[in-house]
Amino acid sequence: MSQSEPQRQPNPLREGIATRNIPDACTVVIFGATGDLTHRKLIPALYNIAADGELPPELAVVGFARRPKSDDEFRAELQEAAGKYSRRGIRDELWRSFASSVFYHQGEFADADGYKRLGERLKQLDEMRRTGGNRLFYLAAAPDQFETILQHLKAAGLNKGNNGGWARVIVEKPFGTDLASARKLNRIVEKAFPEQDTYRIDHFLGKETAQNILVLRFANAIFEPLWDTRYLDHVQITAAETLGVEGRAGYYEGAGALRDMVQNHLLQLLCLVAMEPPTDLSADSIRDEKVKVVRSLRRLSREDVDVDVVRGQYSEGAIAGKPVPGYRREANVKPDSQTETFVAARLHIDNWRWADVPIYMRVGKRLPKSGTEISIHFKKAPPVLFNKESDALDHNVLVIRIQPDEGISLRMQAKVPGTSFRIEPVKMDFHYGTSFGKASPEAYERLLLDAMSGDATLFARRDEVEQAWAFVDAIEEAWKSDKEAPALFEYPAGSWGPDEADDLLARDGRSWRRL
């Protein structure tokens, strides 16, 4: 351990959704410190924010895991990971300074002694680094370990800060596997940490463009008056990935695309698009409005599920010209697996604003392109004037590109230069990269900073998570209640999903937007 005291630097202020969030000094304790998430996301994120000068210099990071290891061994392991996964690469001097705040603590998740020793170590760090006795526990371990960790944290008195400091917990996904298990987990968390200190991660909420949905809607005067059933035709939300299951079959086989992506990420995006303006920008006012959207989602009956939800699974195919195996041939996947790797659905929000505006969602692995976007399709111009003869004018479409190439575009009609009145669609386009000239921070950077600042706006509240599960459970139950296995349509890797997903829109005279 370095004995030198960190120097207090002036804290650069960061713009938050509502106000400037200034992270408190604290110790971040990561459970599952040698796992994939820590290597790929958490440490690179902490390093990047340190490199941006936004981390409090008193910050300490403690990795908690089973294997014996020295601080230096742990740091070397993390350096390699950060070199690979940090968006800004590693600069030696910066890394050395960051690494001097990182420590390793060996302990078994189920052994009280490890937590007792952790408590002592944290107290030393509080003094040495002047963390103010604040602790942020990050549950990056397997979900079946959450209960054990939380119980032990409480038993060791670590669910409270030291000397008047705070203690918060970040819970990684998956947050349960259905409503019953999510409720159970909520009750377990609640025994150790009150709701205001519980931060349930949905990393899509940390993505720059997802945050910008609120700004687009509520900091501009021109969109909100058009944002309802009078002017909107329909909405599409697509989250496409070229990646397959990538060695995560152990988890994915039991989850499938609906639980893995729709219950959390896609419903969160939908909430941001569909919510009413909040009364203010506090975390709870925003989350109050989001939860109303999920509560207004029309619950699907078994018959609705048959008609409005399509399940697919990729078979052998090619991505960017390279052959890839089908899902059932991936490691640890059953040869007759019924797990869906693609879902498309038609949803309805039963409230005044959204009545008769269908929401089409699709999510899938091994699609031809990676990209997440929301498109808002406006009603057509009336069949008069330019639209009189053929009713062929296109809809205006506002596209919010969540990733990659974050930005917003508006498709509208324009006259082609020349002597006739030829009309063609053109695009007004805003790109984050070119307008602001700097890369967006990674979602985990923003979310870690928010948790250190005590801002829960971009974290899912208990009722949001439970309502989302209630919605998704109805679909899962309909699938389970089929006497035979529910229909699972095959699509070749590298295609846009099964034809049935296209039929879902074609029935309504619509088609998916091409990404």
Residue positions annotated with a catalytic role:
265
| Residues in binding contact with ligand BG6, number by CB under 6 A | 4
* Nearest distance from C-beta of residue 331 to ligand BG6, angstroms: 16
Encode 197-225: b = buried (16+ Cβ within 10 Å), e = exposed: bbbbbbbbbbbbbbbbbbebbeeeeeeee
* Nearest distance from C-beta of residue 36 to ligand BG6, angstroms: 11
- The single-letter DSSP state of residue 297 is B
**What are the phi and psi torsion angles at 199 (to 5°)?**
-120, 105
> Angle 267-274/208-218 helices, nearest 10 degrees?
20
Instruction: Determine the straight-line distance between the first and last CA of the chain, rounded to whole angstroms.
Output: 50
Report the residue number, 203 or 366, with the smaller CB distance to ligand BG6.
203
What whole-number distance in Å separates Cα of residue 412 and Cα of residue 424?
A: 8
Report the residue number, 317 or 371, with the smaller CB distance to ligand BG6.
371
Tell me the residue number closest to ligand BG6, measured at CB. 260
Q: Is 445 in the site for ligand BG6 (CB under 6 A)?
A: no
Report the residue number, 57 or 368, with the smaller CB distance to ligand BG6.
368
What whole-number distance in Å separates Cα of residue 410 and Cα of residue 378?
A: 11
State whether residue 349 is helix, strand or coil.
strand
* Nearest distance from C-beta of residue 46 to ligand BG6, angstroms: 18
Report the residue number, 192 or 458, with the smaller CB distance to ligand BG6.
458
Count CB-CB contacts under 10 A for residue 155.
13
Q: Where are the beta strands (DSSP E) in 379-419?
A: 397-403, 407-415
- CA nearest neighbour of 402 among 244, 272, 502: 272
* Nearest distance from C-beta of residue 203 to ligand BG6, angstroms: 6
What whole-number distance in Å separates Cα of residue 447 and Cα of residue 173?
A: 14
* Nearest distance from C-beta of residue 61 to ligand BG6, angstroms: 22
Q: Is 442 in the site for ligand BG6 (CB under 6 A)?
A: no
Instruction: State which amino acid sits at residue 184.
Output: K
Subset of residues 150 to 179 that bind ligand BG6, contact rule: CB under 6 A: 173
Subset of residues 232 to 261 that bind ligand BG6, contact rule: CB under 6 A: 241, 260
Report the residue number, 271 or 349, with the smaller CB distance to ligand BG6.
271
Interface with ligand BG6 (CB under 6 A): 173, 203, 241, 260
